[in-house]
Structure 1
Amino acid sequence: MRIGRALSTAAAPMGALVRAVYPPQCLSCGTLVGSDFGLCGPCWRETPFIAGAACAACGQPVPAGDDEETALCEDCHQNPRPWAAGRAAMLYRDNGRRLVMALKHGDRMDLAWPMGRWLARVAAPLVTPDTLILPVPLHWWRLFRRQYNQAALLSQALAKATGLAHCPDALIRSRHTGSQEGRSRDERHRAVTGAFRIHPRHAARISGRPLLIVDDVMTSGATLAAATAACLAAGAGQVSVLALARVAKEA
């Protein structure tokens, strides 16, 4: 105990020194802020976090007054999802899009930790103590070129924030599906149908267990639907999905 207190006491001045040399900066614009891993006021206001009533299947905002546990957006009414429930932390526009792009293509892996905390806030209705968190995988060739999987960084940060179990290689993308950008909804679904499978080493671990699949962006939901289908085919229990950002039609 004395050693622990001594280390804590010694660490406090060191922390103050680090902050004096490297003061906390806004994650988005670099402006000085009061705490680590935060956004300044203007950037926070420009980040479209989803609050209030949201679609129970994809997290898109729905009109106030709807039952948050059962309300569905128009998109999910027209296109039923194979997963049980879903949420998103923000909309994919404005500063939300800039932050996602910085993580995905700007090598801003430092963003994963605060993004994991944002995800944890909206994940509460989706998880139980035995939920297993897993990311949407990249094909090995894309992973080789990018050197990291942004969805895996997010799922790892979420697991740390919630204390839930994490299995980053539970899903395998067995073929290269290419970019979904510019494809229609039907083309997106055709491109990823059958593209995922459960790693044989983890088949027993997911059998009958509730799962939460994490991705950076949900557009049509095709990728998450294909990943969900692979998990259910392998005998998983209830499958839910969570995206950092949702591409949504504005009201």
Structure 2
Amino acid sequence: MTPRQGAGAHAFAALRGLARGALGLVYPPTCAGCGGATADSGALCPACWSGMRLIEAPLCPRYGTPFALDLGIGPLLSPRAIADPPVFGRARAVALYDEVARGLVHRLKYEDRLDLAGAMARMMLGSGRELVAEADCVVAVPLHRWRLWRRRFNQAALLARPIARAAGLPFEARALARIRATRSQVGLSRAGRAENLQGAFRVPDTQRARLQGRRVLLVDDVTTTGATANAAARALLRGGAASVDLLTFALVGDPSG
């Protein structure tokens, strides 16, 4: 870089900083959870942060569900993981799907608060650091084209891109396709959700070479029963992936393991 180019870059950075400062005066940073004033845009205020039920150890190494008690005897599988092991290898999430986490997801998903994706992705990177470190690529759970057309964006992809970028991993945006439009999962039982998603995902033939032998980090916003992740993971494994781990922002369920 020449001295003139360097001076230009510094001037541009200074102008950008001034613009951010002026914008902050007009639109002060607000809490991503409640909308109250905060020091940094996209951050949580102390009340929302303390109200979020963060998932911490001890937890089930397969489903990532927290245990109510720490028995102090090392990693233990939850009864569900023993009786109904998932297709994916491991799952991790930032928080239980309580009032604060649900509010963040709903603002991103239904109120077009796309600016929240970066902050949520940063939290997911912290909660899923082990999964991220062992992954070869990142894949988002896709929407069917008609739902994508109505919503205009895929919230899972908005979370997956910054995760991949921060981890230095390739984001395989076309590696998984949702080929069948399914009815809403809301109100369906666990068995009904699984049946609803049968055959919903497929790895396109043109993408199989990009998945061969790779460890995939699958990203979504919320895990409810795991039916969507199971269906997506099954398609990825059939498409040539060596393994699939799941990283989401929130997990529906109680800390019962």
Q: How does 1:202-241 map to 2 (within 5 A)?
A: 202-241=207-246
Q: 1:29 to 1:227 in 2, by over 3 A?
A: same
Matched, 1:86 2:91: yes
Q: How does 1:1-251 map to 2 (within 5 A)?
A: 2-3=6-7, 4-62=9-67, 63-65=69-71, 70-128=75-133, 131-251=136-256
9-18 vs 190-199, which moves further: 9-18
Query: Displacement, 1:6?
Result: 4.1
What is the CA–CA distance in structure 2 between the aligned matches of 1:85 and 1:36, rounded to whole Å?
32
Q: Which runs of 5+ in 1 are unaligned?
A: none
Relative contact order (alpha carbons < 8 A, sep ≥ 6): 1 or 2 greater?
2
Q: 1:130 to 1:217 in 2, by over 3 A?
A: closer
Q: 1:143 to 1:12 in 2, by over 3 A?
A: closer
What is the CA–CA distance in structure 2 between the aligned matches of 1:232 and 1:72, rounded to whole Å?
23
What is the CA–CA distance in structure 2 between the aligned matches of 1:101 and 1:55, rounded to whole Å?
26
What is the CA–CA distance in structure 1 between the aligned matches of 2:218 and 2:73, rounded to whole Å?
24
Identity of aligned residues (%): 37
Q: Given that residues 65 and 255 in structure 2 are in contact (C-alpha distance below 8 angstroms), is that contact kept between their aligned partners in structure 1?
A: no
Q: Secondary structure at the match of 1:166?
A: coil
Q: Given that residues 92 and 248 in structure 1 are in contact (C-alpha distance below 8 angstroms), is that contact kept between their aligned partners in structure 2?
A: yes
**CA-to-partner distance for each residue in 1:157-202, whole Å, 9 max, x for gaps?**
2112322210122111111111111111111111112211002221
Task: Specify the code of the residue in structure 2 equivalent to 1:43.
Answer: C
TM-score with structure 1 length normalisation? 0.91
Paired residue total: 250
Q: Secondary structure at the match of 1:165?
A: coil
Q: Given that residues 198 and 230 in structure 1 are in contact (C-alpha distance below 8 angstroms), is that contact kept between their aligned partners in structure 2?
A: yes
Q: Secondary structure at the match of 1:212?
A: strand
**CA-to-partner distance for each residue in 1:29-49, whole Å, 9 max, x for gaps?**
221111121011111122222
What is the CA–CA distance in structure 2 between the aligned matches of 1:115 and 1:215, rounded to whole Å?
11
RMSD: 2.0
Task: Specify the code of the residue in structure 1 equivalent to 2:70.
Answer: A
Q: Given that residues 129 and 164 in structure 1 are in contact (C-alpha distance below 8 angstroms), is that contact kept between their aligned partners in structure 2?
A: no
